[in-house]
Amino acid sequence: MSWTRKILLILGFLSTLAVIALIAVAVTQNKPLPKNIKYGIVLDAGSSHTNLYVYEWPAEKENDTGVVQQVEVCKVEGPGISGYSHATEKAGPSLAQCLRQAEYVIPSKQHQETPIYLGATAGMRLLSLENKNAADKVLSSVEKTLRSAPFNFQGARIISGQEEGAYGWITINYLLGNFKQSGWKKLLHSLKSISETSGALDLGGASTQITFVPNELSSESPENLLYFRLYGKDYLVYTHSFLCYGKDQALQQKLAEDLQTMENSSLLDPCFHQGYQRTINISDLFKTPCTSAKKKQFPFSQLYVQGEGDYQKCRRNVQKLFNKTNCPYSSCSFNGIYLPPLQGDFGAFSAFYFVMNFLNLTSEQSPAALDKVAATVESFCARPWHEVKTAYHQIKEKYLSEYCFSGAYILSLLENGYDFTENNWQRIHFLGKIGSSDAGWTLGYMLNLTNMIPAEEPAVPPLSYGSYVGLMVLCSLVLASVLLFAWLLFHKPKCLQKGIV
């Protein structure tokens, strides 16, 4: 064997070894470490009920967008915490069962490091207007229970309507991946300045929020504008929360209004099904700050509601809740509140979704046109109560009896209140969940309080793990083939000599 042959043989052997080593190193060294999961808990203390959410995310990806997801939701039994105003010490203990559920879902060794937050919304805003002392006591009771749980207590407070709107907007845009800008989207964005976020519409029991990025900047009503810098981009967001315009308080307002012109205690109500009856204590109706201005002396103490099932009448009735007479700005929603022209797509969740979903009007593939939505609500309202009750016996009577009113109210709020028309109606997407997470303000609240949304875009490695390994293998194969070819060229084995020469 000649010395050149020997060298080439050794070289060939060494390069094969090098290729194997390179691949082995690429695969083992760069293999993602076993997932280190972190958890967070948020309690949404709404006016009608409390929900506990458990979120999880991989620790090493904390600042990426779209990595936090909901892994558990627990519905607290009984009323919302504001419903404990007469037994404030019972508000905290009502949460115990859901806290135990969270202890079960989250591994015990991580309990201590898991942050837990409680945010109360419009029910508690109303209670604190009506009886500040009772509201404080409810919050103390809740705090005491949360502190006694094995988690890292981070606060229990009433969030403002502005926060509720803003965090709902952050949640849905985070979950829809609208803050993440891939290469081509970035390019598109720099070419034309398009708003790539989705607006948020939230309908609760006691308040409703509208939040979106308007087309033009206007400083007409600074209290409705919020500024955010998220992932390296600036957002100027319009938001407004209408206290007393959640669906339960809106119904109270409507009934209080109806009472003004009544001569006896019996009310024929077009917003309830024919054959439906409900008795309401007049003193309860006027307890809330949403109706207290309409309080007066009535010659009866109870109101007997009888359903009439007439959508058109109900719509006219409900429409009166939206005062469109004076607007001190260039444009308004209602009650003299500034609203810039609507812009882009909207995600509508909570009661917007519950009601539309019940009426089978949430299909994303073929979103129903406005006239079809109105026709569906109209024919639902026209069905007699006994028929509705048998057809949907599995649905709670409190919910079922109010879907006719709620359908009319939602249409009135969106059409009369916010000026949605048949042209932009289909830009509203009714969503319950996005992936595994419920649409609502809680996720955005936690992302903000745990500083999980960076102001600047985090530096990302230019290649993903998969592409890196692929490239490594490709380079190694090319290197090996070049060496093999060189060896064949110099070595010229007998069998190939004829072919090459």
Ligand X SMILES: Nc1ccn([C@@H]2O[C@H](COP(=O)(O)OP(=O)(O)OP(=O)(O)O)[C@@H](O)[C@H]2O)c(=O)n1
Distance of CA 501 to the CA centre of its chain: 72
Q: Which does 206 bind (CB under 5 to 8 A by kind): Ca ion, ligand X, none?
A: ligand X
Residues with Cβ within 8 Å of residue 253, at least 6 apart in sequence = 244, 290, 291, 321
Least spacing, CB of residue 456 vs ligand X, in Å:
33
Whole-number minimum distance, CB 253 to ligand X, in Å? 14
Segment 187 to 206, residues that bind Ca ion, using CB under 5 A: 204
From ligand X, Ca ion, none, which one binds at residue 47 (CB under 5 to 8 Å depending on kind)?
A: ligand X
How many helices (DSSP H) and strands (DSSP E) are in the chain?
A: 17, 16
The 3-class secondary structure across 239-295, one letter per residue, is EEEEECCCHHHHHHHHHHHHHCCCCCCEEEECCCCCCCEEEEEHHHHCCCCCCHHHC
Site for ligand X contains 354 (CB under 6 A):
yes
Three-state secondary-structure class, residue 342? coil
List the single partner that 82 binds among Ca ion, ligand X, none, CB under 5 to 8 Å by kind.
none
Query: Stretches 39-47, 236-244, 331-339, 417-425: which one binds Ca ion (CB under 5 A)?
Result: 39-47
**Residue 431: contacted member of Ca ion, ligand X, none (CB under 5 to 8 Å, by partner type):** none
In angstroms, rounded to a whole number, what is the distance separating the alpha carbons of residues 307 and 385?
8
Q: Is residue 122 a contact point for ligand X (CB under 6 A)?
A: yes
CB crowding 4-31: b at 16 or more within 10 Å, else e: eeeebeeebeebeeebeebeeebeeeee
351 is an interface residue for ligand X by CB under 6 A? yes
**Is 409 among the residues that bind ligand X (CB under 6 A)?**
no
248 vs 308, which CB is nearer to ligand X? Answer: 248
The residue (of 197 and 401) whose beta carbon lies closer to ligand X is 401
Structure tokens, 475? 């380079």
Compute the distance between CA of residue 119 and CA of residue 53 in angstroms, rounded to an integer: 12
The binder of ligand X chosen from 205, 214, 407, 417 (CB under 6 A): 205
Q: Is 401 in the site for ligand X (CB under 6 A)?
A: no
Rounded to whole angstroms, the Cα distance separating 45 from 22 reads 55
* Nearest residue to 321 (alpha-carbon basis) of 243, 219, 393, 389: 243
How would you class 348 by CB atoms within 10 Å of its CB: exposed for 0-12, middle for 13-18, buried for 19 or more? buried
According to CB under 6 A, which one of 350, 362, 412, 437 is a site residue for ligand X? 350
Count of CB atoms within 10 A of residue 447's CB? 21
Does 168 contact Ca ion by CB under 5 A? no
Please state the length of the chain. Answer: 501
Report the distance separating Cα 247 and Cα 461, nearest Å.
48
Residue 354 site contact among ligand X, Ca ion, none (CB < 5 to 8 Å, cut-off depends on kind): ligand X
Using the minimum distance from each CB to Ca ion, give the nearer residue, 248 or 269: 248
# binding residues, ligand X (CB under 6 A): 19
Residues whose CB is less than 8 angstroms from the CB of residue 133 and which lie 6 or more positions away in sequence, other chains included:
none
- Minimum CB separation from ligand X for residue 242, in Å? 10
Of residues 46 and 347, the one with the C-beta less far from Ca ion: 46
Q: Does 123 bind ligand X (CB under 6 A)?
A: yes
Residue 244: phi, psi to the nearest 5? 80, 0
CB-nearer residue toward ligand X: 8 or 54: 54
Give yes or no: 164 in active site.
Answer: yes
Q: Work out which of 56, 196, 248, 378 binds ligand X, going by CB under 6 A.
A: 248
Pairing of strands 428-430, 207-212: unpaired
From candidates 8, 15, 43, 46, binder to ligand X by CB under 6 A = 46
Place of tokens 């837990």: 116
Query: Which residue in the list 56, 72, 163, 164 is annotated as catalytic?
Result: 164
Nearer to Ca ion, 415 or 438 (CB): 438
The structure tokens listed for 205 are 């029991």
- Nearest approach, Cβ of residue 79 and Ca ion (Å): 14
40 or 46: CB nearest Ca ion: 46
Q: Which is nearer to ligand X, 179 or 245 (CB)?
A: 245
> Which of the listed partners (ligand X, Ca ion, none) does 80 bind, with a CB threshold of 5 to 8 Å by partner kind?
ligand X
- According to the binding rule CB under 6 A, does residue 204 interact with ligand X? yes
| Residue position matching structure tokens 């609208």 | 178
> Which listed residue (46, 92, 123, 417) binds Ca ion by CB under 5 A?
46
253 contacts ligand X (rule: CB under 6 A): no
The one among 94, 121, 224, 317 contacting ligand X by CB under 6 A: 121
Three-state SS at 36: coil
In whole angstroms, give the CA distance from residue 11 to residue 5: 10
Which residues are known catalytic residues? Answer: 164
Q: Which residues make up the interface to Ca ion (CB under 5 A)?
A: 46, 204
Q: Which residues make up the interface to ligand X (CB under 6 A)?
A: 46-49, 80, 121-123, 204-207, 246-248, 350-351, 354, 399
